[in-house]
Amino acid sequence: MTQPIDRAEQFKAEIADMKLKTGRARVESWLQIVGVVLMVVGIAIAFGAYSASLNVTATPGTNVDLLDSNSYTPLAIAGLAISVTGGFIFLRYSLARFLRFWLLRQVYEQRVAIDDAAGRNSTGELRRGEPQRGVDAVGTS
């Protein structure tokens, strides 16, 4: 069995060494905003590159216009990559919160369903007139 004083001392030491991660929810909200911003910025860059490539003027006798036009391709791809990354960040942090609530709801609903099946209300009390299957008589068989 744990010695009382040892446990208290160990507890104090562990709490003292604990790395506090404060403001995690705030960070998640910020990352969602960053994700949306990156999506918009990425698409804007891609469209900007596309528009700029349309304005390349042709130089007779050379292929400079084609090279200029091609040079916008990596920029547009980079814009799309930024947009996809932003979308991933947004989904990651918005889904995490949603799934947490979803999991809690699943647990809660399953408990209610099982309580219903066992004839109890949500606090564990037997419903009036139900069989004594869930009675709280510890020590009796």
Partner 1 sequence: MLNGDGPGGGERPDRALELRNVDAAYGTITVLRGVDLIVPFGQVVALLGPNGGGKSTVLRVVSGLLPVTGGDVYVAGRRVNGAAPDELARHGVCLIPEGKGIFPNLSVRENLWMATHTGRPLNDIEEIAYARFPRLGERRKQLAGTLSGGEQQMLAMARALATDPALLLLDELSMGLAPLVVEQLYEIVAQVATEGVSILVVEQFARAVLGIVDWVGIMLRGRITNFGTPAAMEAELSTAYLGE
Among 22, 55, 57, 62, binds partner 1 (CB under 8 A): 22
Among 2, 55, 57, 62, binds partner 1 (CB under 8 A): 2
Residue 43 neighbours by CB under 8 Å, 6+ apart: 79, 80, 83
Q: What are phi and psi of 114, to 5 degrees?
A: -70, -40
Residue 52 and residue 71: Cα distance in Å, rounded? 10
Q: Does 101 bind partner 1 (CB under 8 A)?
A: no
Q: Does 128 bind partner 1 (CB under 8 A)?
A: no
CA 126 from centroid of its chain's CA atoms: 39
Residue 72 neighbours by CB distance under 10 Å: 19
Residue 79 burial by Cβ neighbours in a 10 Å radius (0-12, 13-18, 19+): buried
Point out which span in 30-38, 44-52, 84-92, 117-125 binds partner 1 (CB under 8 A). Answer: 117-125
Q: Does 134 bind partner 1 (CB under 8 A)?
A: yes
Least CB distance from residue 22 to partner 1, whole Å? Answer: 3
Q: Does 102 bind partner 1 (CB under 8 A)?
A: no
Q: Does 42 bind partner 1 (CB under 8 A)?
A: no
Q: Does 5 bind partner 1 (CB under 8 A)?
A: yes
Among 27, 102, 124, 127, binds partner 1 (CB under 8 A): 124
At position 14, the amino acid (one-letter code) is E
Q: What are phi and psi of 120, to 5 degrees?
A: -110, 160
Chain residues that interact with partner 1, rule: CB under 8 A? 1-8, 10-12, 14-16, 18-24, 107, 110-111, 114-115, 117-118, 120-125, 134-139
